[in-house]
Chain A
Amino acid sequence: MSEARKDDTILDVKNLQTVFFTNSGLFRAVDDVSFNVRRGETLAIVGESGCGKSVTALSVMRLVPDPPGRVVGGTVTLEGTDLLSLDEAEMRKIRGNRMSMIFQEPMTSLNPVMRIGDQITEVLRLHQEMTSREAWAKAVEMLRLVRIPEPDRRAQEYPHQLSGGMRQRAMIAMALACRPALLIADEPTTALDVTIQAQILALIVDLQKTLGTGLILITHDLGVVAQTAQRVIVMYAGKKVEEAAVEDLFENPKHPYTRGLMASMPAVISFGAKTDARLNEIPGMVPSLTNLPPGCAFAPRCSLAIDRCRAEYPPLQEVDGDHFAACWRAAELVGAP
Chain B
Amino acid sequence: MTDQRPLLEVTDLVKHYAVRGGVLRRRVGTVHAVDGVSFSVAKGETLGLVGESGCGKSTVARSVLRLVEPSSGAIKLNGTDITGLSKAEMRPHRRSMQIVFQDPFASLNPRMTAGDIVGEPLGVHGLATGRAQQERVAELFGQVGLRADQMKNYPHQFSGGQRQRICIARALALGPSLIVCDEPVSALDVSIQAQVINLLIDLQRKNDFSYLFIAHDLAVVAHISHRVAVMYLGRIVEIADKTELFANPRHPYTQALLASVPVADPKAKKLAPMIDGDVPSPINPPSGCAFHTRCRYVMDRCKVERPTLVKAGGQHEVACWLNDGTGRAENS
Contact = CB atoms under 8 A, between A and B. Distances in A.
B152 to A, nearest CB: 20
Contact of A195 (B204, B264, B275): B275
How would you classify the secondary structure of chain A's contact residues: helix, strand, loop or mixed? helix
Given A250-B266, A268-B222, A286 B189 contact: yes
B177 interface: no
B242 A48 contact: no
A8 interface: no
B92 interface: no
Interface stretch (B126-134, B212-220, B304-312, B322-330): B212-220
Interface string B246-272: 110000000011111111111111111
A226 B264 contact: yes
A84 interface: no
Interface residues of B, number: 56
A266 B189 contact: no
A268 B218 contact: yes
A24 B216 CA distance: 37
A279 interface: yes
A165 B192 CA distance: 28
A265 B190 contact: yes
A247 interface: yes
A194 B222 CA distance: 15
B208 to A, nearest CB: 13
Contacts of B276: 199
Given A276-B204, A279-B223, A224 B194 contact: no
Contacts of A199: 273, 276
B246 A271 contact: yes
Given A267-B219, A270-B223, A226 B201 contact: no
- The 6 nearest A-B residue pairs measured at CB: A223-B262, A264-B194, A266-B223, A282-B191, A193-B52, A198-B260
Interface of A: 48-49, 163-166, 193-199, 201-202, 205, 220-228, 246-247, 250, 260-262, 264-273, 275-283, 285-286
8 contacts: A165-B278, A223-B261, A224-B262, A226-B264, A247-B267, A266-B194, A275-B225, A276-B223
